[in-house]
Structure 1
Amino acid sequence: MKSTIIPFDYNGNEISFNTDGWINATEIARPFGKRPVDWLKQDETRQYLKILGEVLNCDPESLLETRRGRHHGGTWLHPKLGVRFAQWLDVRFAVWCDFQIDSILHGDLGARQQFENASKALDHRKDLASLQGKGLAAWRWQKPTLENRVEYWREQLQLQLTLDA
């Protein structure tokens, strides 16, 4: 799961999805005072994971990913699990998540593609700058423009997804 993170706001809380529709379960559970591990221990959840793995012809464990780190670390859930987990947290929130995931997966590819391209350009230039001492001076000039471009397309994507919801 190596995709760009798209931050959303739900009632003042940052909700992170990625461009593949995966959702950060650790992050979204926090405002509700819950933890993904408690949901994952439930018999119904384990049964759902097993059957979903069978239907998708994959190992049920591949529908979960745990990342370390302060920024966007935690348990990430496959889009088919995201809404199910959100229902456990709060029904209204689950409906909101359903629309966000649908918009990410089936929304305007133009804005999504522009966002991906801008993010890749920023990452590429960052890598190049770290490899070249001479590139650092150019990086100082290009970085704000690239960051602005990423932020612009992030806002366009969020605006579009908000309007679609």
Structure 2
Amino acid sequence: MIEAREWNGHPIHRRQVDGYVNATAMCRAGGRRWNHYVTNDRTAEYLQALSGSAGIPADLLVASIGTGPNHLRGTWIHPRLAVDLARWISPSFAVWMDGW
């Protein structure tokens, strides 16, 4: 099951089964680009730290979906990574994301 909330008029979806959030939609809502976030050194360090803490291989913290309904397509990320992405996007977006 998928739940959605809106930020700046853009729906952002989260999977209830694992809490993964659509990072593509987050970046679109915040006017930022996913590839700018995911390619910076700090993000790489965060992914490794989160992987160790959560016991999940780093490559499973991010999943790309290219088929299916539009709201299911895009890059889906672990909920803790979604909070970090929100902090990178903007302080107000981070506060909004903290409440989800």
The two structures have a TM-score, normalised by structure 1, of 0.55
User: Which position in structure 2 is the counterpart of 1:21?
Assistant: 19
Question: Percent identical across equivalent pairs?
Answer: 34
User: Which position in structure 1 is the counterpart of 2:76?
Assistant: 76
The structure, 1 or 2, with the larger RCO (C-alpha pairs under 8 Å, 6+ apart) is: 2
> Which of the numbers 3, 7, 12 marks the counterpart of 1:10?
7
Higher strand share: 2
Aligned length: 97
User: Which position in structure 2 is the counterpart of 1:108?
Assistant: none
Gaps of 5+ in 1: 101-165
Amino acid at match of 1:83: V
Residue 52 (structure 1) shift = 1.1
User: Which position in structure 2 is the counterpart of 1:90?
Assistant: 90
- Quick one: distance in 2 between partners of 1:13 and 1:99? 17
Local SS of the residue matching 2:3: strand
Larger Rg: 1
> Comparing 6-15 with 43-52, which one deviates more in the overlay?
6-15
Gaps of 5+ in 2: none
CA deviation map 1:76-133 (0-9, x unaligned)? 1101101100111111111111111xxxxxxxxxxxxxxxxxxxxxxxxxxxxxxxxx
Amino acid at match of 1:45: T
- Quick one: distance in 2 between partners of 1:88 and 1:30? 13
The two structures have a TM-score, normalised by structure 2, of 0.88
